[in-house]
Amino acid sequence: MNPILRLNNTKFLFTNITEPFMLKMQVCLIAGLIITLPFVTIEAWKFIAPGLKSNEKRPLRWIAPLSILLFAFGVALAYWIMPYGFKWFASYIPPHAELRPSVPATMKFSILMLLAFGLSFELPVFLMLLGQVGIINSKMLSDNWRYGVVGTFIAAAVFTPSNDIFSMVAMATPMAGLYVLSIWLVHIVEKKPGKE
């Protein structure tokens, strides 16, 4: 159920006869992509794994499950906070007006919000991959943690489709925590001095 339906006195508006059918098709397509994502990740790993050395495989074995788990947490958080965000937006509707949002626009907004949160939670995986290839290290991340936290808030402001402060803070706060977690994860996978 779309979180906007939880608002009081809200009715969806279809502006085209084909919209109800196309909406069901889009929802099925997106749900199918989400459901098959773990299987696609496993198949991609089976394709890449034979070409890697044993020391390269070790950290990557748990990057794929971690990325799926973090993406799911990001989507779940977005789904949980969206009703509060919609209520905040709805508080600006004048008392004599009635909210009748367009179904395609509402679905697009909801999907973009879920996707933005899911991808933003991939920050540790992205930093781990950079640490694995030697572009960054845990000391660099820990020395520049202030810039990292500010960067997460800037990224949250850019990536949230609603551009409201509530969604930005809801995305940036866990991202800042994930940045701190990334320091430890990068320390595990980074290339140690004296080792190839």
List pLDDT tens digits, range 106-160. 787 888 888 888 888 888 888 888 887 778 888 888 898 899 888 888 888 887 7
Cα–Cα distance, 14 to 186 (Å, whole number)? 49
- The more confident residue out of 44 and 1 is 44
Q: Residue 177: is its pLDDT beyond 70?
A: yes
Give the rounded percent of residues in the chain with a pLDDT score beyond 70.
86
Only one residue has tokens 């008392």, namely: 95
The predicted pLDDT at position 161 comes to 66
The predicted pLDDT at position 9 comes to 57
DSSP string, 46-98: HHHGGGS-HHHHHHHTTHHHHHHHHHHHHHHHHHHHHHHHHHHHHTTS-TT--
Segment 27-41 mean pLDDT: 80
Q: 8 pLDDT band (50/70/90 cuts)?
A: low
The predicted pLDDT at position 3 comes to 55
- Whole-model pTM: value is 0.74
**Taking the chain, what is the end-to-end CA distance rounded to the nearest angstrom?**
51
Q: 163 pLDDT band (50/70/90 cuts)?
A: low
